[in-house]
Amino acid sequence: MTARIEPAFLKSLRTLLPADSLLTAPEDTRPFESDGLSAYRATPDVVALPGTEVQVAAILQLCHQHQVAVVARGAGTGLAAGALPIAGALLLVLSRLNQIKQIDPLARTATVQPGVRNLAISEAAAAYGLYYAPDPSSQIACSIGGNVAENSGGVHCLKYGLTVHNILKLRAWTISGELLEIGSESLDSAGYDLLALLTGSEGMLAIITEVTVKLLPRPERAQVVLAAFDDVTTAGAAVGNIIAAGIIPAGLEMMDKLAIQAAEAFVHAGYPLNCEALLLCEIDGVNEEVSDDIFTVREVLAASGATEIRTAESEEQRLRFWAGRKAAFPAVGRLTPDYYCMDGTIPRGQLPHVLRRIREMSTEYGLAVANVFHAGDGNLHPLILFDANQPGELAKAESFGGRILELCVEVGGTITGEHGVGLEKINQMCAQFAAPELARFHDVKAAFDPDKLLNPGKAVPELHRCAEWGAMHIQGGQLPHPELPRF
């Protein structure tokens, strides 16, 4: 792999793309210096914006020939530095591949290019009474290619699953420019489950240029119950009680007091402000089923210690309740110069314990935390508030976030639920996986990309890094990210 972009490579690259599709001037490439995790920035040497699948294949073949690394990027809404540029690498931006190629209302599928926005799929399918279920909070902006790369979820993933459960087929290209057609439009296909392998692979195995997704019929009715609690751990216990009662909500979300107050001031969703936590529990389906389940959920919440219970009385109120939750991240951004958004997943039964430990660590580090998360599937999103203008606060926030992820592993969970690993969590991969497991990950990488040209250094740590990380932990320290430029 080259350490810098060679003139000969750049000259050949210019023959493959129109002039406005290749950016090299610093003022043009700087907008691509980070993804949504803006704490880490690196200006790319060159940015390619292909408009066709043929151009993508030709670019990959050229990069393979010249041994130039490739970092794929979509809408740039990722939160783990997965699309962070690398010195000497080509940043391959797929946002111009943004066509919805086909909607088949009978098969209930949509075939789209990777630059299509998540929400745009549901908007296009609405005319047929259909929609695409995974709905990340960034769905108005995030693209389906990035959703596949990170295996994104959303507030409705408890009932309807993550991205991997809602796609049928992929077209993808290897670094040598060979086409792979993975999966099929049937419910299953022969051979190893490469569809699941590529979903969540963070651009390290192949470049995806087409996705066929499942569409679902709009439910006859959807209704939300809002419950307030005077204790965060009590609210966490209520989550398990709802599932134990045999109810699988379409969405089951939780926010703590800091997040509630920020969201209410920003969106005016009608949240109660005198509580320590609230749950949003949405039930959908046929009318009679929703009525029965809403009654059961209200009973469970009352028995679980809820101090106030409301049921949305109109579609407008239901959407307003959700608007507060979906705007929680930008709302918290109004409280502090910076915040560090974590993403880990734990068994539901561990919610009370983990929330207590996060509160204790918040006191230990002297950094406030706003908790916003997909409570139903245990996917935590603690937002660590800090000020990067204060020396040492970013490093303190990183250390705090790393300990939260390691706590997730300790209780039987994982270090990511939907944001991916990228560079942000690469040290914590050493906490979750042993050397033999990491070696198998590297074997898979080598099968697709033997020269390590696709998004190198991301997601899966080298074994020597884990050895260093383990030594640092034994000594009570942390292995930092020296390779990541800070803002």
Question: How many other CB atoms are there within 10 angstroms of residue 104's CB atom?
Answer: 14
Looking at CATH, the fold of the domain delimited by 221-331 is given as: Alpha-Beta Plaits (3.30.70)
pLDDT in tens, 248-294: 999 999 999 999 999 999 999 999 999 999 999 999 999 999 999 99
- Predicted pLDDT of residue 156: 92
Name, in order, each residue with C-beta under 8 angstroms of 75's C-beta and a sequence gap of 6 or more: 95, 115, 117, 138, 141, 142, 143, 146
Domain span(s) for CATH 3.30.43.10 in the chain:
7-93
Q: What is the DSSP letter of 485?
A: P
Give the type of residue at 143.
S
Q: Model confidence over 72-116: pLDDT tens digits?
A: 999 999 999 999 999 999 999 999 999 999 999 999 999 999 999
- pLDDT single digits (tens) 23-33: 999 999 999 99
DSSP category for residue 417: S
Architecture of domain 100-217: 2-Layer Sandwich (3.30)
pLDDT mean over 405-428 = 96
3 state SS of 344: strand
Residue 476 is predicted with a pLDDT of: 58
Q: Which residues contact 5 (CB under 8 A, 6 or more apart)?
A: 45, 46, 68, 88, 90
80, 424 Cβ separation under 8 angstroms? yes
pLDDT of amino acid 347: 95
Angstrom distance (rounded) from CA 257 to CA 260: 5
- Name the band, by pLDDT with cuts 50, 70 and 90, for residue 403: very high
CA–CA separation, 332 vs 342, rounded Å? 14
Distance of CA 298 to the CA centre of its chain: 31
Mean pLDDT value of segment 397-419:
96
pLDDT digits (tens, 9 = 90+) for 350-390: 998 999 999 999 999 999 999 998 999 999 999 999 999 99
Averaged pLDDT for residues 233-237: 93
Asked if pLDDT for residue 469 goes beyond 80, the answer is yes
Q: How large a percentage of the chain has pLDDT more than 90?
A: 91
Pick the CATH number of 7-93 from 1.20.1600.10, 3.30.450.20, 3.30.43.10, 3.40.50.150: 3.30.43.10
Residue 1 has pLDDT above 60, yes or no: no
Q: Where in the chain is the domain with CATH 3.30.465.10?
A: 100-217
What tokens does 131 get?
């929609």
Q: List where CATH 3.30.70.2190 sits in the chain.
A: 221-331
Give 487's pLDDT tier (boundaries 50, 70, 90).
very low
Q: How confident is the model at residue 475 (pLDDT cuts 50, 70, 90)?
A: low
